[in-house]
Amino acid sequence: MMQIASDASSNKHSLINVMHRFIAAANNMDETIMVPSLLRDVPLEERAASEAEANNNHAPPCHSKQRDMYEHYLLLKSIKNDMEWGLLKREVGGGGAGLLDIPLTVQHQRREEQQHQDLLHEDNTDLENQFHYHLRGLFGVLSKLTLQADHLTNRYKREIGGGNFMR
């Protein structure tokens, strides 16, 4: 049984490997970005930053879905924490309290029991298709998050090296 576990983690296409790559990229990002507040108000896309510099008409910036690098940094850290600690901490406590500090309420316990009962009564014939659908989605999302964490880390290194964050 131990042989199977080590083979799964060494397979580059395993879910465990994809998860480890994202967590490693997020940890590297966190270790590299020593002063996250320098990321505030820096456009996520380099193209947007160069367009903003070229536009000297002092028009207010367009705040659509574009995030700055600081918000993206926090998002990646939050996702990494959710993966490492689970969602219960966020759903129940919402704050910084530890998992052991949060007593499960009776209402929460009843809700989980009801969800468990609902799952038992669902048609199990499509579970394999559902599993593969969500697994493909998880692979895709984790791969994109890994690339984004690497991109953010590399861009921070470039910007800090060139002194472009200093205003």
Looking at the domain assignment, is residue 167 inside a domain? no
Give the span between the Cα atoms of 15 and 109, in whole angstroms.
30
What average pLDDT score do residues 145-155 get?
95
Residue whose structure tokens are 């493909």: 136
Which domain, by its residues, includes 149? 2-53+63-162
Nearest Cα to Cα of residue 20 among 87, 84, 78: 84
9 in a structural domain: yes
Report yes or no on 58 lying in a domain. Answer: no
Among 71-75, 101-105, 112-116, 154-158, the minimum mean pLDDT is found in: 101-105
Number of domains in the chain: 1
Q: Is residue 150 part of a domain?
A: yes
**Residue 100: other Cβ atoms inside 10 A:** 6
- Residue 1 to residues 5, 6, 8, 99, 145, Cα–Cα distance (Å): 7, 9, 11, 31, 31
Within a domain: 138: yes
Nearest 5°: the CA angle 31, 33, 36 is: 130
Model confidence at 105, pLDDT cuts 50, 70, 90, reads low
| Tokens matching residue 44 | 């996520």
Asked, for residue 71, whether it belongs to a domain, the answer is yes
Least confident of 41-55, 82-96, 105-119: 41-55
Residue 18 reports pLDDT greater than 90: yes
Query: Which range has the worst mean pLDDT, 80-89, 95-104, 121-130, 145-154?
Result: 95-104
Amino acid at 81: N
**Average pLDDT estimate for 109-127:** 69
